[in-house]
Amino acid sequence: MENESNQLHVSFLPVPAQGHMIPMMDIAKAFATRGAKITVITSPAFAAIFSKQIERANQLGLEFHVGMPEGWENTDAVGYSQNLPKFSEALSLLREPVLHILEKHKPDCLVTDFLFSWAADVAARLKIPRLAFGGTSIIAVCAGEVIARHRPHKGVSCDSETFLLPHLPGDIKLTRNQLPPHSRQEVQTDFSKLAREAFASEAKSFGSIFNSFYELEKDYADFYRNVLGRKAWHIGPVSLCNSDTADKVQRGKEASVSRHECLRWLDSKKPNSIVYVCFGSIVRFSSQQLVEIAKGLEASQQDFLWIVKGDKSQEQDWLPEGFEERMHGKGLIVRGWAPQLLILDHESIGGFVTHCGWNSTLESISAGVPMVTWPMFSDQFYNEKLVVQVLGIGASVGSTLYAMFGEGADLVSRDDIDKAVRRVMAGEEAEVMRRRAKLIREMARKAVAEGGSSDSDLTSLIEELKQHKAARESK
């Protein structure tokens, strides 16, 4: 532990949603292991969800303070798209209580989710640097900025015609149908307003932290710095800081399957023989789509571990007649929350059907597992391009429509699921992808190891923050 006056004190303000909070907790841990004092500002409900992680983090010297108004604590509680206006409103309501906490705790730096658009002003008022964390890939931020600047989607005649993202490396093409509403710039929604304000606030911050590593997104990291002229530190994959089983299991929520049951089943299978199917924390499918997934998995003849979200009553309606009996021993369905890191790191997992949420994508990359890509919203269509086109470690199911949280997404057929799963799991193409994925996994491990690119970036970030603190204190 450093002496009190030199010790850097960093406050973290995550958005209360698993996909944002999980990596931010890992980032806090990375700072703590470098001797920084950490305050995570969160709600009692979220502190409870993360209590086991918090307990272990406390042993590392982390300190937790609670400061959110009750009732606005988690996207699970807030609900889905119909409640987004309330979610945006809740984020802005947090400004005063958070400012109050910061004034009391006097941190040297504020790391917030990029969605807190008021954070840059609050940090400026306290004369401390604000770092933004978006939880996305670098390619996604670059692509979004290219679309905003050059508006290539205005040059096509219909929503399903592809257009090229000009100046962006990698020959990336998309359709208007795949763009988020704030990029299409046609109608102003609550979320598009929130996103635009957040991007503006990020631009006036000290810089951004990415959960990525330079070697993975080299061209986009260079584009971000040299063309967009922004400052960033790439310090990921941050999930790799969880090396023991307990850390891998207790992330985000209590798992719905015991680690022993899960491991026993995985251990009974051959290496690379199981396709893991999970769509993050918020996607919900219609019963019709669930049936197509079930039939597609059955047709692929691959063993599978399928995580299904949603309520128990829906399940009775969609499960095809006799499906579970037919799949006995071949497929395991877990309803609820999976210990995803533990699963992906198991040698029996040969492929991952994913919605391309950035955490899931990077966790799969870190485990050397090729992907079946099924993007729906947020940065997922850009992440799919990175996985399939740039890195060559995935096959797409061919989803064509941006659908927030998967609501109103186009139906992906059992045939398309079957085809994409086979491409990733069996045959020569699968072998090529697997070899490449294992090489990239080694790159990821090197990046976070001592002297690697992410490790060095974190060192230089901490140095800059210390210099900032020293300059401020000498005034």
Q: What residues does 40 pair with on adjacent strands?
A: 12, 64
Coil vs helix vs strand at 208: strand
Of 20, 153, 182, 355, catalytic: 20
Contact between 18 and ligand UDP (CB under 6 A)? yes
Contact (Cβ atoms closer than 8 angstroms) between residue 132 and residue 202: yes
224 or 337, CB closer to ligand UDP? Answer: 337
- Active-site position among 26, 108, 113, 457: 113
Q: How big is the chain by its Cα radius of gyration, in Å?
A: 22
278 is a site residue for ligand UDP (CB under 6 A): yes
Nearest to 88 by CA among 202, 199, 191: 191
Exactly one of 24, 307, 391, 433 binds ligand UDP (CB under 6 A); which one? 307
CB 232 within 8 A of CB 210: yes
Q: Which is nearer to ligand UDP, 206 or 265 (CB)?
A: 265
By CB under 6 A, which span of 8-16, 77-85, 338-346, 457-465 interacts with ligand UDP? 338-346
* Smallest gap from residue 116 Cβ to ligand UDP (A): 17
Beta strands in 361-466 (DSSP E): 371-373, 394-396
Bridge partners (DSSP) listed for residue 276 = 305, 352
Stretch that binds ligand UDP, among 35-43, 110-118, 125-133, 352-360 (CB under 6 A): 352-360
Rounded to 5°, angle at Cα 336 from 335 and 338? 100
C-beta of 205 vs 242, nearer to ligand UDP: 242
**Distance of closest approach, residue 357 Cβ to ligand UDP, in angstroms:** 2
Dihedrals phi, psi of 188, to nearest 5 degrees: -90, 115
- Kindly state whether residue 375 participates in binding ligand UDP, applying the rule CB under 6 A: no
Q: Rounded CA gap, 217 and 362, in Å?
A: 12
Q: Give the shortest CB-6-to-ligand UDP separation in angstroms.
A: 33
User: Least separation, in Å, of the C-beta of 334 and ligand UDP?
Assistant: 8
Residue from 43, 137, 175, 281 that binds ligand UDP (CB under 6 A)? 281
**What amino acid occupies position 363?**
E
Q: Which is nearer to ligand UDP, 53 or 465 (CB)?
A: 53
Tell me which of 280, 350, 375, 394 binds ligand UDP, using CB under 6 A: 280
Q: Residue 167, by phi and psi: left (phi above 0), alpha (psi -120 to 50) or beta?
A: left
Q: Does 383 bind ligand UDP (CB under 6 A)?
A: no
Q: Which residue has the tokens 């609900």?
A: 79
Q: Is position 358 an interface residue for ligand UDP (rule: CB under 6 A)?
A: yes
Q: In this structure, is the dihedral angle defined by the CA atoms of residues 172, 297, 357 and 193, taken in order, positive or negative? A: positive
- Residue type present at position 385: K
Q: Which is nearer to ligand UDP, 61 or 336 (CB)?
A: 336
* Residue least distant from ligand UDP (Cβ): 19
Q: Which of 205, 250, 340, 364 binds ligand UDP (CB under 6 A)?
A: 340
- DSSP bridge partners of 109: 10
Contact between residue 91 and residue 116 where contact means Cβ atoms under 8 Å apart = yes
CB of 80 or CB of 105, closer to ligand UDP: 80
Site for ligand UDP in 200-259 (CB under 6 A): 251-252
Q: Which of 129, 351, 357, 368 binds ligand UDP (CB under 6 A)?
A: 357
Angle at 286 between CA 281 and CA 292, to 5 degrees: 100
Strands 303-308 and 331-335: parallel
Residue 37 or residue 309: which is nearer to ligand UDP going by CB?
Answer: 309
- Among the listed residues 282, 372, 430, 433, the single contact to ligand UDP using CB under 6 A: 282
- Which three-class secondary structure state does DSSP give residue 390? helix
Select 340 or 396, whichever has its Cβ closest to ligand UDP.
Answer: 340
Q: Considering only 2-10, 332-340, 434-442, 458-466, which stretch makes contact with ligand UDP by CB under 6 A?
A: 332-340
Tokens, residue 79: 């609900």
Of 21, 86, 19, whose CA–CA distance to 48 is shortest? 21
Least CB distance to ligand UDP at residue 239 (A): 7
Pairwise CA distance, residues 409 & 401, whole Å: 6
Task: Transcribe 333-351 into DSSP letters.
Answer: EEES---HHHHHTSTTEEE
Measured from the Cβ of residue 227, the count of other Cβ atoms closer than 10 Å reads 16
The number of residues that bind ligand UDP (CB under 6 A) is: 19
Q: Is 113 a catalytic residue?
A: yes
Q: How far apart are CA 302 and CA 429, in angstroms?
A: 16
* Residue 234 structure tokens: 């790439």
- With CB under 6 A as the contact rule, the residue among 31, 276, 306, 337 that binds ligand UDP is 337
CB nearer to ligand UDP: pick between 234 and 251: 251
Report, in Å, the least distance between residue 411 CB and ligand UDP. 20
373 binds ligand UDP (CB under 6 A): no
Residue 108 appears among annotated catalytic residues: no
- Binding residues (CB under 6 A) for ligand UDP: these are 18-19, 22, 251-252, 278, 280-282, 307, 337-338, 340-341, 357-360, 363
Residues taking part in catalysis: 20, 113
